[in-house]
């Protein structure tokens, strides 16, 4: 198999894996909604769902950062900074929620996370995909 075809296959496989991660993160936000939809606020359930989301976010960010390094993505540092901010914010939220485990605090946290993730995936993550695709088209066209 020509090298360009192999790298396209690798890229497609990795992009599919990252897309599955994004779906999983969406499922984690839905899990927060499920807890918030219960008639009696489940303090422990929300904290646990936040912990699962935080673990998934950390795993996904490591994978995505490795991909940026492998393709020499030029805005990798800025992108990694965005990841670092979210990871720190999630830690702050978990502390804040343990100090004030109210339904309204949980709702604010859930809305922030959902907005942040959707915005990040649609803009910053999409920019990496576009770069990877353009880079490979360039590699295929190179003599
Ligand atoms: Fe990202
Ligand atoms: Fe991502």
Q: How far is the CA of 40 from the centre of ligand 2 (A)?
A: 33
Q: How far is the CA of 39 from the centre of ligand 1 (A)?
A: 34
- The domain ranges of the chain are 10-141
Place of tokens 């995936």: 121
Q: What is the pLDDT of residues 48-61, one digit of tens each?
A: 999 999 999 999 99
Q: How far is the CA of 96 from the centre of ligand 2 (A)?
A: 25
| Domain 10-141 bears CATH identifier 3.30.1300.10 | no
Average pLDDT over residues 123-128: 97
Q: What is the pLDDT of residues 56-97, one digit of tens each?
A: 999 999 999 999 999 999 999 999 999 999 999 999 999 999
With CA atoms as reference, report the closest residue to 15 among 134, 120, 129, 135. Answer: 129
Q: How far is the CA of 22 from the centre of ligand 2 (A)?
A: 6
High-pLDDT (> 90) share of the chain, %:
81
- Alpha-carbon distance 49 to 100, whole Å? 16
- Alpha-carbon distance 126 to 132, whole Å? 10
- Tell me the pTM: 0.89
Closest ligand to the CA of 57: 2
């Amino acid at each position: 198999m020509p090298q360009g075809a192999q790298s396209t296959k690798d890229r497609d496989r990795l992009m599919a894996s990252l897309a599955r991660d994004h779906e999983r993160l969406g499922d984690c936000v839905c899990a927060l909604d499920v807890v918030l939809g219960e008639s009696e606020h489940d303090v422990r359930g929300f904290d646990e769902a936040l912990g699962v989301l935080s673990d998934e976010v950390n795993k996904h960010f490591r994978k995505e950062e490795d991909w940026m390094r492998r393709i020499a993505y030029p805005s990798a540092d800025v992108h990694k900074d965005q990841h670092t901010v979210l990871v720190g914010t999630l830690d702050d939220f978990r502390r804040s929620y343990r100090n004030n485990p109210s339904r309204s605090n949980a709702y604010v946290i859930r809305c922030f996370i959902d907005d942040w993730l959707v915005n990040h995936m649609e803009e910053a993550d999409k920019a990496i995909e576009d770069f990877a695709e353009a880079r490979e088209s360039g590699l295929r066209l190179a003599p």
